[in-house]
Amino acid sequence: MGSKMRGPIIRSPSLDLVVPSPLCRLVEMPLTASAAPAPELSQDELKRIAAYRAVDLVESGMVIGLGTGSTAVHALDRLGDLIRRGILRDIVGIPTSKKTEVHARAVGIPLSDLDSHPVVDLSIDGADEVDRHLNLVKGRGGSLLREKMIEGASKRFVVIVDETKMVNLLGGSGLAVPVEVIPFCWGFTMGKLRRLFDGVPGFDLRLRTTSGDEMTPSVTDNLNYVIDLFFEKGITGNLDEISDAILKIVGVVEHGMFLGMTTSVIVARKDGSVTVINRMGDRSIVTG
């Protein structure tokens, strides 16, 4: 990837954390909404605006990666409606979770898997965080492994968010950066993760538990556990190096940092307008 510029350094006994230079050039293109909505739109309405804009990129005959989460639900509903009306034909959906599979079947989207369709034309999914380099945090809903497999197999990966998901640094929202781990000796794996970030100010981690039951671990579709990492001021380091260090820990299956995978981010603003951020030089993305 060429030489890397390094900025201020935070040292950890287990890992050198280094502020990276931008890995890609981005262009931001404001687009005018078709109508002027009311000034105060709900977050759910903003999610729907972004999702519908992404579904405009779908063409008949495509294999589509179907995301998971509250924003992706709007894309599923829109896609199912267009299929039922005959506007889109011969669509194949690859769901990123069991929950998405159930919803997609309910709205009439034909489904398959990566074994039958190892190349995905377009994936549409939400994100928990998006930084200025189009890196993501995903998986707070627990579907990070399947999401990364399917979206990593995609020619194009379009992310749909409202503007509250935009951050300066991954982890900057103060919410979880998930790590999927096998249940066997999960406490041992958690200790390795703790030592990896030992000395990083404001760092914490905990095992994710089911809602309303602090004693029962939350289980993913792959029957694994999730350990949530928290960074008070965001991850102030070289994300590629941190990613590699996490994945080298035995017992870790995958983490929720999606680095260098995104081709376009569609951002719905509070006033109802839409901003599309593309990777410079990617000829596959069409906006308008």
User: Alpha-carbon Rg of the chain, whole angstroms?
Assistant: 19
Pairing of strands 264-268, 154-162: parallel
The number of helices, as runs of H, and strands, as runs of E, in the chain is 6, 16
- Measured over the CA atoms of residue 243, residue 116, residue 139 and residue 70, the dihedral's sign is positive
Cβ–Cβ under 8 Å, residues 33 and 272:
yes
Choose, from 147, 151, 180, 254, the residue flagged as catalytic.
147
Q: Which of 270, 272, 284, 268 is nearest to 123 (CA)?
A: 284
* Token code pair at residue 41: 């739109």
The CA distances from residue 195 to 10, 28, 282, in Å, are 15, 39, 39
Measured between alpha carbons, how far is 132 from 72 in angstroms, rounded to an integer?
21
Residue 147 is a catalytic residue: yes
Q: How many CA atoms lie within 13 A of 100 on its CB side?
A: 34
Number of other CB atoms surrounding residue 285 within 10 Å: 15
Q: Which of 2, 15, 26 is nearest to 235 (CA)?
A: 15
> What residues act catalytically?
147
